[in-house]
Structure 1
């Protein structure tokens, strides 16, 4: 699949950007299939001279535990770890919160690599580039999407007892012993104990342009939800990717842990990453809102969009629930859907239509967990919805067995590997690499005596 790479910025563009965001150093950050930021911090002069920086290609094929799957290294990435160029998207350049004299910018990998049987474009393994490709299809169809995410996270303390990881509610900074004892759903008093944490988080979000608009105590022990204002899907995926790192870093400074792991407590609700999507025609259209009629009713297009999501949801689950722990969230459900159901209002639905007027009609995708990659989540949701618009099918009501979702990660990965639709949207190299990495992680985890303790708590808790 041919994708348009990020344009290489000129020296003048780079210098002008660094005048707007003065910095002696620039953090070049790039996303892989995890939620972690990879990259380097380079001197501003080197950033201008290299128009970004260079990074070993190995990082785009590693598992969460730094494993190197045989199905990736050789067929899709070179075994000699050849370097690739990281090209910065200067629209994302911003001061790095709490680091005077340092800026941060989101980059994408660009370059051709020698692999078995020929050459490989490293851009084909970029989740962010995959999302840009899907959004280009929307523009070609004369459509524009808006996205608004809701993220859940746990604020935790982690201790060891008899060789086991024990999780508990975080204690507010300077208030030893003031941790939550029982779940205090939507409790403003408990949330206020973390005002200092959220004050710093809001301030840092403002610096980075992350549109965080509110927060509240959620329905599990020491669990909180944050809300973002609607915006451009690529900017929103960037914001979520940055926010997860930011929430973890700020939490550490306050003496506790922020975790987006999908099901850290088996007896409590899990961690979701819900996304609201709407689609518009050009602003000069008589009625620009694709998902509703001028009378405020659901439009046929909304139903077609949902039908596309329903049809391909089993394969997309490998993107929405990319770790074994994520299927604990679905099996031990607390409003975590197990079927590709749809309807109005009910939070047990996979694709929910919140109560809204015609101009704000939207679809909420409630399948993704906190461990999902935001770029792949948005690319899959919008891309499959666009396929539904093109096909014109109607969604299936209720929760028949035909709408059942995979019950475990291996079944989801098999569905993804066999999905021509998602290969067409994301590219076969990306699908093959993701499937190989996740199968490697699953095999590594299942050989352990206590997978939740030895894998999930050891790795996923802090890196989801």
Structure 2
């Protein structure tokens, strides 16, 4: 739809309201409904949105260690702008109009995840490239409501379906109402998915979102996560994108697929039919850049305490800094079968990520390799990537990864000092919040015997 058509749709929608949202640092969409009249007054101007969304954690507890905003600043409004290109109709809300926004100008753009990704996408454009990106997600589904889950203290929840049924035709037909609603509603919501199937684990689904330009791909990914939860509510289901729901079950990935094309988007610059693995020198530099940079920006793709419970051996998630051709045990999986499909899959990324930050991490690291013409000296891993420690291992917890990022010259170069400082402070807060809690494991382990 053209801009005029979008505005006419908003004006004529019988609800008289518009839903808007901005992504916070954790990838949680924070938003509200506004009247049609209010929307019309801000579409060509910025408006105020409380900057507390970058000053508290996902549980709405205010940080006490950040510089960007806090009690010291009084939590003022930040200049925020609606992006008309994000227009969508919410099919499960009577097609009410919806838009994403972002915080702009001044210091706000130092911490806004969408602004960060836009800057990195612009860097690629300035280099003459058009990145195409997509993210895929695995997630668990439970026959619970927010109230019932809380009443059970999030223990012994009833999975949507029992058993380990990856790629199951049977299980996808068992709750086909929900399965079909996902496909149909997401298509109507302009978050097209290429595939949807059950994954191994009770009540686990996996979906691959259709690839697209960088910012559009990230918008689709962040809307996908919220849309899945809202559609699930309609069916008496709770969906979770935690990286690891149970120590005995596989974790949930949020793998990022990326390729670099020419400025017109006509030629995939990753593909080279004359290379043994069909990888161009540019793709090899991109891979080398990620191998070098990812350990220093790991919190962007493993952002929570729980993220590191997924990154363990033998659980379909990488632990080592490795790459390989169509190898699911390595950190970076090169898929080079054809000119159109040649791409890199970054498998470190979990489902619990903020898509803007996960994609920013992958793209900025790869572009770093291209800018510096890095050689891919590390050989491809053949076989079990968990045993290949020739290039090192990933950090094993959030605080170690955060300290490495905070002190990294590369991280500051890629993301900017203001963003790195703020994001590191939020991860240090997350670690503090976790460290003071007494867990069930500790009670079971120490209560009687110690």
Change (3 A) 1:170 1:105: same
What SS is found at the alignment partner of 2:31? strand
**Per chain length, whose mean CA-contact separation is higher, i.e. which structure has more relative contact order (CA < 8 Å, sep 6+)?**
1
- Alignment-derived partner of residue 292 in structure 1: 271
2:384 aligns with none
* 2:377 counterpart of 1:390: no
User: Does residue 1:413 correspond to 2:402, yes or no?
Assistant: yes
Partner of 2:89: 95
8 Å contact from structure 1 (residues 35, 373) kept in 2: yes
User: Given the alignment, which residue of 419, 435, 440 partners 2:424?
Assistant: 435
Distance 2:331 2:67 in 1: 36
| TM-score normalized with structure 2 length | 0.88
Could you tell me how far 1:229 is from its partner in structure 2? 1.9
Does structure 2 conserve the Cα–Cα contact (< 8 Å) formed by 1:28 and 1:107? Answer: yes
SS of 1:273 mapped into structure 2: coil
Partner of residue 460, structure 1: none
Instruction: Establish whether residue 345 from structure 1 lines up as the match of residue 310 from structure 2.
Output: no
Which of 71, 90, 104 is 1:110 aligned to?
104
Residue 150, structure 1, aligned to residue 136, structure 2: yes
State the shift of 1:392 in Å. Answer: 1.8
Query: Could you tell me which of 296, 299, 306 is aligned with 1:318?
Result: 299
Aligned-pair Cα RMSD in Å: 2.5
Q: Pairwise mapping of residues 35-434 of structure 1 onto structure 2 (< 5 A)?
A: 35-51=27-43, 53-73=47-67, 79-100=73-94, 102-112=96-106, 121-157=107-143, 164-171=153-160, 179-180=161-162, 182-283=163-264, 288-295=267-274, 297-331=278-312, 333-395=314-376, 396-397=378-379, 398=381, 399-434=388-423
d(CA) in 1 for partners of 2:235, 2:413: 44
**Residues 117, 356 of structure 2: 8 Å contact kept:** yes
CA contact (8 A) 1:273 1:370 kept: yes
Distance 1:380 1:101, change over 3 A: closer
Q: How many residues align?
A: 424
> Residue 225 of structure 1: SS of its match in structure 2?
strand
The answer on whether the counterparts of 1:131 and 1:379 sit within 8 Å (CA) in structure 2 is yes
**SS of equivalent to 2:18:** strand
Contiguous gaps of at least 5 residues in structure 2: 382-387, 444-450
SS of equivalent to 1:403: coil
Distance 1:403 1:367, change over 3 A: same
- Aligned-residue offset at 1:14: 7.1
1:174-214 Cα offsets, whole Å, 9 max, x none, are xxxxx41x212211111112221122222321232102122
Query: Counterparts of 1:382 and 1:20 in 2: how far apart (Å)?
Result: 35
| 1:358 aligned counterpart, secondary structure | coil
**In structure 2, distance between residues paired with 1:315 and 1:305:** 16
